[in-house]
Amino acid sequence: MATKYRLAIVGCGGISHAHGNAWRDIPEIEIVGACDEKIESLSRFATTYSVENTYKDLRHLLEKQQPDILVIATWPSSHLKNVLEAVRCGVKGILVEKPIAVNTSQLEQMIQVTEGAGILMMEAFMYRHHPLTLAVKEKIAEGAIGDVRYARSTFSTGLTDRTNWRLRGELGGGAVMDLGCYCINIIRYLIGREPQSVWATGKYEAINCVWETLIGTLDFGDGVTGQFDCSFGWTWRECYEIAGTEGTIFVQSAWGNSEGESQFTVNGETISVKGVNPYAAEILNLCEAVVNGTPILLPITDALGNMRVIDALHESAHTGQRIRISD
């Protein structure tokens, strides 16, 4: 009999449905519970994905259902509290939606308690599990564009709703938290090391205490540079490009690839890749790592590196200074 993975989710807002849609096509997954303080959101999720056990309180869910894996899809400001509750109740693995924390200090606390309890924790950058992303990385490793010297990425949306958590600083919102985190993550991944320093500028919304727009530069040393822009209120844009000593790779559809065919170009040649549902791939990666000890694609050190860059970019944007990132 195939292994059954017992999953529960806290936070039944918009992103929870991307997870739920993926899980119901995976026979190994059993959704044993869902939790949300908002009854309407909770009821909608439970009805859509046939979840029998629903809770307004996370501790009650965890104590009653004892899931193997908890997926945290709440506002970033709640992630630390949710992780501490999951550790207390003895889950084996935790998938935390991005951004994994509101700052590096919180993430370091999350890492300390999960590692102390022997619990695997992974940040939910679903695009990193998609075959297109893996194929781009493989082309770089093969030397298709020579030595990487520059990477740029962009992500913007037309969001203007000030009640949405993404535009509310007290909930962990902001352009770099919701959008720029992807841009930073892909640049770090493709260059293959951590930046030494950063500087940034943008548009700060003082009423809601968020950076509505942020444009940043990452200095990796030895003449290797990354640049990105992210914004709410701009038209929808998503792409990334990597330039090397012998060519370039360009990806037009950066983050939203799923099943079906995906494409990118290498030195002007179009490469096609057969896709998968990245939300299914990421949860199976974590489940199999918990049960079989197989490596996870995004170790928690990756999340820590991303969070350190985000903190430094925020500091730079506020101060107007170049910020060095300490190890």
Q: What is the pLDDT of residues 30-44, one digit of tens each?
A: 999 999 999 999 999
In DSSP notation, 8-48 reads: EEE--SHHHHHHHHHHTT-TTEEEEEEE-S-HHHHHHHHHH
> Binning pLDDT at 50, 70 and 90, where does residue 159 land?
confident
Answer whether residue 322 shows pLDDT above 60.
yes
My answer on whether 172 and 293 are in the same domain is yes
My answer on whether 90 and 131 are in the same domain is no
> Binning pLDDT at 50, 70 and 90, where does residue 2 land?
low
My answer on whether 74 and 193 are in the same domain is no
The pLDDT value recorded for residue 1 is 39
- pLDDT digit string (tens) for 254-272? 999 999 999 999 999 999 9
CATH number of the domain that 48 lies in? 3.40.50.720
> Rounded mean pLDDT of 168-186?
95
| Predicted TM-score of the model (pTM) | 0.96
> Rounded mean pLDDT of 109-137?
98
> Binning pLDDT at 50, 70 and 90, where does residue 25 land?
confident
Give phi and psi for 245, each to the nearest 5.
-70, -15
- Range(s) of the domain holding residue 154: 127-324
My answer on whether 140 and 118 are in the same domain is no
The answer to whether residues 263 and 273 touch, using CB atoms and an 8 Å cutoff, is: yes
Q: 112: burial class by Cβ within 10 Å (0-12, 13-18, 19+)?
A: exposed
> What percent of the chain lies above the pLDDT cut of 70?
99
My answer on whether 31 and 158 are in the same domain is no
In DSSP notation, 248-285 reads: EEEESS-S---SEEEEEEETTEEEEEEE--HHHHHHHH
My answer on whether 228 and 315 are in the same domain is yes
> Binning pLDDT at 50, 70 and 90, where does residue 169 land?
confident
My answer on whether 105 and 142 are in the same domain is no
The pLDDT value recorded for residue 311 is 98
The rounded mean pLDDT for the chain is: 96
> Rounded mean pLDDT of 5-33?
96
> Rounded mean pLDDT of 50-75?
97
Asked which of 124, 152, 179 is the last residue of a domain, the reply is 124
Structural domain count, the chain: 2
My answer on whether 184 and 292 are in the same domain is yes
My answer on whether 314 and 283 are in the same domain is yes
My answer on whether 192 and 181 are in the same domain is yes
- pLDDT digit string (tens) for 70-121? 999 999 999 999 999 999 999 999 999 999 999 999 999 999 999 999 999 9
My answer on whether 140 and 42 are in the same domain is no
My answer on whether 100 and 156 are in the same domain is no
CATH number of the domain that 234 lies in? 3.30.360.10
